[in-house]
Each structure stands twice: as structure tokens, then as C-alpha cells.
């Protein structure tokens, strides 16, 4: 399924979580690896309406999420 992180389209497996999307975004797109899951859990992630979403939340096809990449 396709989801968007900071307006970048990513192809993820069905049932992927926000954490899965962030891991792919940081490693594949920004070429930056986050060493611990705690770092990802501390990020503030929001949906396209500005609502905060949790990293263990599920995603659906065509979801848009946004995260501050200044970590």
C-alpha cells in the first residue's frame, strides 16, 4: 500500500504501522538511521488534519503523516 510521510510516497506492506513508515522514511529517503526505537517513539507525528498520531497506530492506503525531521 502507498502512504505518504512528509509528502513523500512510500510503498509499505498491508498492516504497516506509523513506526514502520517512519523507519522506511528515515532509512530510505533521508539516508539516516535511527538506532533505537525509543527515538522514534519520542517523535511528534501528525496526520494531514494536524492531529497527533501514535507510532504504534495503524496506517491505511493513501494516509498522509508528517514528522519533524530535525532529530
- CATH-assigned architecture of domain 2-67: Roll (3.10)
* Rg of the chain taking only CA atoms, in angstroms: 11
pTM as predicted: 0.84
Domain limits, the chain: 2-67
CA–CA gap between residue 25 and residue 33 (Å, rounded): 9
pLDDT per residue as tens digits for the range 20-44: 999 999 888 878 766 655 677 788 9
Helix/strand/coil percentages in the chain, nearest 5: 25, 25, 50
H-type alpha helices, 1-71: 18-24, 37-41
Work out whether strand 64-67 and strand 2-5 pair parallel, antiparallel, or are unpaired: parallel
Work out the mean pLDDT of the chain and round it to a whole number. Answer: 88
Amino acid at each position: 500500500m502507498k502512504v505518504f510521510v512528509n509528502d513523500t510516497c512510500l510503498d509499505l506492506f498491508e498492516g504497516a504501522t506509523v513506526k514502520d513508515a517512519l523507519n522506511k522514511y528515515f532509512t530510505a529517503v533521508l539516508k539516516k538511521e535511527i538506532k533505537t526505537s525509543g527515538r522514534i517513539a519520542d517523535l511528534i507525528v501528525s496526520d494531514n488534519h494536524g492531529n497527533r498520531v501514535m507510532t504504534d497506530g495503524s496506517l491505511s492506503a493513501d494516509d498522509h503523516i508528517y514528522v519533524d525531521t530535525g532529530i
